[in-house]
């Protein structure tokens, strides 16, 4: 006879924590039927007891003392929704030492310390569940762990940061400049007051780290990821990209090539016909290519109280089933291999380039010479306009080795005909 009630210690009652409570209140009966046990929140850790809450909870459940949850033998599972790295790390370790299952929404922590924590959980005969850490309400972790487990995954392409996707969508659809779109995202709650981690691409890189481990069965570290953000991106580039048939998206890309793994986050031009081009506003999506399944895409809300709570409640159902030994732990996460990381220089990409040249004869010829010298061939080249003797030139190259493109770029920079290189982005065709 299994446990009839699984008791939860909830760390945090903010956006995500209150979503979890709300879903258990809304759908408790159905969750009980699915889990085979009642899921009951026994204690909730907060910082400020007086703060108004988005959900109604019995005030006696609240505490500011973490030991009330972590040291309570009656609590089976700790759900961590406080965020940050150090404190959350400490609490999760403590929970595992006290023989509690753990569920977390914390991508920063899982990306930087996930390996160690998963190992500790295994040693303790427990498990850590982290569906909510990537893609909010979109099921991504479970499909990579289970449903696609029979595939050799060759590529994942993701829009996994809602803030930057919102900004890029507004710039594209409303012709807004970067700062106006950012201010609007902040006003609507899609961007934090300090949006640095999102804009610099770090948030997407944390998530790519977590997804790549599962997709490629490898011990990926945050430092393995090449990161370029979207700060200060010009609306001119968004406009020209559209004219050329592309959308600019901040893509998180993981690929397994013959030489190893390529892991990168950067603004990318993708054809408007690509399914990821139509992922708009704060939505997220992950496009996965597997050798058996072909191409699949997961799409939906990448954040928010109820969507993220939805992922955590699914994890709670798994924990309840696990406690009652009705399911085995999922795939083994501690036998990942070390795989070589391919450097960006070894990679081939197509590039978009916008530059400012003196509007004089011979400019195209000097560009052709610089590119030709490095075996860079051009797919498109357009002179956009001429203002005060300066012409704006936009070009897209065919796929070239990055190191060749970079040396062509250096010789263009030295050319007296070229005034300034405004922007350089990678282009992917599919
Ligand atoms: N927001 C989303 O849509 C989303 C989506 C996916 C993943 N996540 C992740 O989920 C986590 C939580 O995000 P959130 O948006 O829910 O944050 P939040 O709204 O700021 O809530 C954090 C909660 O944790 C409590 N807390 C923070 N530090 C604490 C401390 N030292 N001691 C006790 N309680 C503490 C706060 O207590 P008080 O309320 O008393 O201040 C608050 O209730 C983060 O790791 C985030 O990256 C969020």
Instruction: Considering the candidates 123, 207, 399, 403, report the single residue annotated as catalytic.
Output: 207
19 lines ligand 1 (CB under 6 A): no
161 lines ligand 1 (CB under 6 A): no
Judge whether 5-136+305-323 and 141-301 match in fold. Answer: no
DSSP class of residue 259 equals T
The residue that leads in pLDDT, 300 or 388, is 300
Residue with the smallest CA separation from ligand 1 atom 44 is 83
210 lines ligand 1 (CB under 6 A): no
Q: How far is the CA of 52 from the centre of ligand 1 (A)?
A: 14
pLDDT tens-place string over residues 334-364: 667 899 999 998 999 999 999 999 888 888 8
Once rounded to an integer, what is the mean pLDDT over residues 191-218? Answer: 96
What pLDDT does residue 361 have? 82
Residue (of 108, 70, 76) closest to 92 by Cα position: 70
Q: How far is the CA of 48 from the centre of ligand 1 (A)?
A: 12
134 lines ligand 1 (CB under 6 A): no
**Stretch (H or E) spanning 247:** strand 246-257
Q: How confident is the model at residue 328 (pLDDT cuts 50, 70, 90)?
A: low
Fold (topology level) of 347-427 = Alpha-Beta Plaits (3.30.70)
How many whole angstroms separate alpha carbon 199 and alpha carbon 217?
A: 28
Residue 384 among the catalytic residues: no
Residue 396 has pLDDT above 70, yes or no: yes
66 lines ligand 1 (CB under 6 A): no
Residue with the smallest CA separation from ligand 1 atom 19 is 14
What pLDDT does residue 331 have? 55
Residue 399 has pLDDT above 60, yes or no: yes
45 lines ligand 1 (CB under 6 A): yes
Q: How many residues does the chain have?
A: 430
| Residue 61 phi, psi dihedral angles, 5° rounding | -75, -25
How many other C-beta atoms can be found within 10 angstroms of the C-beta atom of residue 180? 15
Fold (topology level) of 141-301 = Dihydrodipicolinate Reductase; domain 2 (3.30.360)
Q: Which residues contact 312 (CB under 8 A, 6 or more apart)?
A: 16, 19, 20, 79, 81, 103, 105, 131, 132
In three-state secondary structure terms, 338 is: coil
pLDDT tens-place string over residues 74-113: 999 999 999 999 999 999 999 999 999 999 999 999 999 9
Residue 312 has pLDDT above 60, yes or no: yes
Residue (of 82, 39, 42) closest to 62 by Cα position: 42
Angle of CA points 236, 237, 243, to nearest 5°: 90
Q: How confident is the model at residue 125 (pLDDT cuts 50, 70, 90)?
A: very high
Class of domain 5-136+305-323: alpha beta
Q: How confident is the model at residue 175 (pLDDT cuts 50, 70, 90)?
A: very high
Residue with the smallest CA separation from ligand 1 atom 42 is 14
Which tokens hold the place of 65? 């003392």
Q: Please answer whether residues 286 and 298 qualify as being in contact, where contact means their C-beta atoms are separated by less than 8 angstroms.
A: yes
Residue 326 has pLDDT above 80, yes or no: no
Rounded to the nearest integer, the mean pLDDT of the chain is 94
Q: What does the domain layout of the chain look like in residue ranges?
A: 5-136+305-323, 141-301, 347-427
Supply the pTM of this predicted model: 0.95
How many whole angstroms separate alpha carbon 414 and alpha carbon 78?
A: 59
């Amino acid at each position: 006879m299994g446990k009839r009630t699984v008791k939860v210690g909830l760390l945090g009652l903010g956006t995500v924590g209150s979503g979890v409570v709300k879903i258990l209140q809304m759908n408790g009966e159905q969750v009980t039927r699915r889990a085979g046990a009642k899921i009951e929140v026994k204690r909730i850790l907060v910082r400020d007891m007086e703060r108004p809450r988005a959900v109604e909870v019995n005030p006696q459940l609240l505490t500011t003392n973490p030991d009330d949850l972590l040291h309570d033998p009656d609590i089976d599972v700790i759900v961590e929704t406080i965020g940050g790295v150090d404190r959350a790390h400490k609490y999760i370790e403590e929970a595992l030492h006290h023989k509690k299952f753990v569920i977390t929404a914390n991508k920063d922590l899982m990306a930087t310390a996930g390996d160690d924590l998963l190992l500790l959980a295994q040693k303790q005969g427990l498990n850590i569940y982290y569906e909510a850490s990537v893609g909010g309400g979109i099921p991504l972790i479970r499909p990579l762990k289970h449903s696609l487990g029979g595939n050799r995954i060759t590529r994942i392409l993701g829009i996994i940061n809602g803030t930057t996707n919102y900004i890029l969508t507004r710039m594209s659809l409303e012709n807004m400049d970067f700062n106006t779109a950012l201010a609007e995202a902040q006003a609507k709650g899609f961007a934090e007051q300090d949006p640095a981690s999102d804009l610099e691409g770090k948030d997407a890189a944390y998530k790519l780290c977590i997804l790549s481990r599962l997709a490629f069965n490898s011990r990926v570290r945050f430092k393995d990821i090449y990161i370029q953000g979207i700060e200060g991106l010009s609306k001119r580039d968004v406009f020209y990209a559209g004219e050329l048939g592309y959308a600019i998206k901040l893509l998180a890309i993981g690929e397994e090539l013959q030489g190893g793994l390529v892991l990168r986050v950067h603004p990318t031009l993708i054809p408007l016909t690509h399914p990821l081009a139509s992922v708009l506003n704060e939505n997220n999506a992950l496009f996965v290519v597997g050798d058996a399944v072909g191409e699949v895409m997961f799409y939906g809300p990448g954040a928010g109280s109820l969507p993220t709570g939805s992922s955590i409640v699914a994890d709670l159902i798994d924990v309840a089933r696990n406690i009652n030994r009705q399911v085995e732990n999922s795939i083994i996460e501690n036998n990942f291999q070390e795989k070589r990381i391919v450097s960006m220089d070894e990679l081939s990409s197509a590039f978009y380039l916008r530059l400012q040249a003196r509007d004089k004869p011979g400019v195209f010829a000097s560009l052709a010479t610089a590119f030709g010298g490095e075996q860079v061939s051009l797919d498109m080249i357009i002179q956009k306009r001429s203002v005060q003797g300066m012409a704006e030139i936009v070009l897209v190259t065919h796929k070239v080795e990055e190191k060749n493109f970079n040396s062509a770029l250096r010789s263009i920079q030295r050319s007296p005909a070229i005034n300034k290189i405004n922007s350089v982005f990678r282009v992917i065709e599919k």
